[in-house]
Amino acid sequence: MSLTDRIRQQFEDSAELKRSAAAVLTEPIAHAVELMTAALAADRKILLCGNGGSAADSQHMAAELVGRFERERPELAAIALTTDSSILTAVGNDYGYDQVFARQVRALGRDGDVLVAISTSGNSVSVLNAVQAAQERGLAIVALTGRDGGKLGHMLREQDIHLCAPHERTARIQELHLLMIHCLCDGIDASLLGDD
């Protein structure tokens, strides 16, 4: 396969996944928008966590909520638990990396908040521990996973929302996660501000 054919195939694979995923993810994303909008309207906050590319996605979504997505609106309460290097290194050193998000959830999370937990495999131990801590604290969970949802998919309760990218390849899952994040941000804006 030539380099240009390989690149073209990447575009085609990504586009095909997005088309096919719309059928299974549109309603769950809408439910997640409703859940998150209700929390924000009740003066609650969104906590976000993930590792690697999922950490970047957590920070991206928090920035869109605190700043703005595409329209002017008041700031929305969102915290990416991936950004405080002092907390991450202190907790990682003293308790182990698997506790870096869970301890923050227990410190910052309150009943009625929402945890957005992102893991392409659904098996990231630090994210699983954060979800467990969130459930203990009364937070709702919006989980973004891929493949079969992993252990995270099995941890979710009826009131939680699972947005599982139906693909095996990490790059495709991450691309779909970004689209889902943009759908969530757009939906929250539309719910708070009305349709544009």
Whether the CB-CB separation of 187 and 161 falls below 8 Å is answered with no
Q: What is the CATH number of the domain that holds 125?
A: 3.40.50.10490
CA distances from 110 to 1, 7, 105, 122 (A): 53, 45, 8, 24
pLDDT tens readout for residues 38-84:
999 999 999 999 999 999 999 999 999 999 999 999 999 999 999 99
Number of domains in the chain: 1
pLDDT tens readout for residues 112-136:
999 999 999 999 999 999 999 999 9
The closest alpha carbon to 142, from 164, 114, 113, 110, belongs to 114
In a domain, 163, yes or no: yes
Q: Which domain holds residue 90?
A: 11-193
The β-bridge partners of 114 are 46, 140
In a domain, 149, yes or no: yes
In a domain, 3, yes or no: no
In a domain, 33, yes or no: yes
Whether the CB-CB separation of 179 and 18 falls below 8 Å is answered with yes
On the question of pLDDT at 108 being above 90, the answer is: yes
In a domain, 188, yes or no: yes
